[in-house]
Amino acid sequence: MQLIAITLWMVMLTGCSTGNNSTTITNATDTVLLYKKDTALVAGINVTQTILHLPEEKKLEVTKKGRLLLVLDHPTVISAPEGVYEIYLTNLLNDIDKLTSSQQSFVSLLDLYSITAPGAKQQVEIDITQQVKNLQSTGGSATPLFAVLKFAPVKLADGTFSSNAGEIHFSGISVVQVNN
């Protein structure tokens, strides 16, 4: 009976893709923590940005051998937004208000359903490998590197744009390397 339970548990832990830039880490021995910051991140009407301190040689090495994941810890939706949250990775803070989803720095939309669904995971994992490669291929330095959460309103039925950004809290942020 125990063997069946262990076998079922191992089957449940096999890899699963949950979307465009979402990844599930299935084997903790193949991951390396590159950066971790235990600090409150609050996403709301104002753009939220935090610096990711990664050694330059690690970013070059990782994008050749594996993937980089941005991990947002313990997501809590305080109030739901009337719009979406976009996630960007950039090395320039002076253009932060001009970021659009058509740019190479765009990573993904924050999946609010996965955060609020019954039995939701206690972290959001987002693959940022391509964005780091984009920064490196354009000749730009990938240091410093900023993770940016930006509210994007939706157009309401009356033709105006929503201003209710809601509020989402995270207890920390980290970057992990997942080896192939």
Structure token digits, residue 118: 């019954």
Bond prior to 81 in cis (omega within 30° of 0): no
Is the distance from CB of 147 to CB of 6 less than 8 angstroms?
no
Sketch the domain layout of the chain as residue ranges.
18-179
Strand order in 48-52's β-sheet? 48-52, 145-153, 83-90, 106-109
Is the distance from CB of 173 to CB of 74 less than 8 angstroms?
no
Burial zone of 63 (CB within 10 Å; 0-12 exposed, 13-18 middle, 19+ buried) = buried
Q: Would you write out the chain's pLDDT as a tens digit for each of its 180 residues?
A: 343 333 333 333 333 333 344 444 555 557 788 888 888 888 877 888 888 887 665 555 655 667 889 999 998 888 888 888 899 988 877 777 788 888 888 999 988 878 888 888 888 999 998 888 877 776 655 567 888 888 888 888 999 998 888 888 999 999 888 876
- The pTM for the full model equals 0.74
Is the distance from CB of 45 to CB of 25 less than 8 angstroms?
no
**40 to each of 17, 85, 146, how far by Cα in Å?**
27, 17, 16
Architecture in CATH for domain 18-179: Sandwich (2.60)
C-alpha to C-alpha distance for 134 and 145, rounded to whole angstroms: 12
Which of 160, 29, 170, 150 is CA-nearest to residue 93? 150
**In the beta sheet, which residues pair with residue 179?**
66
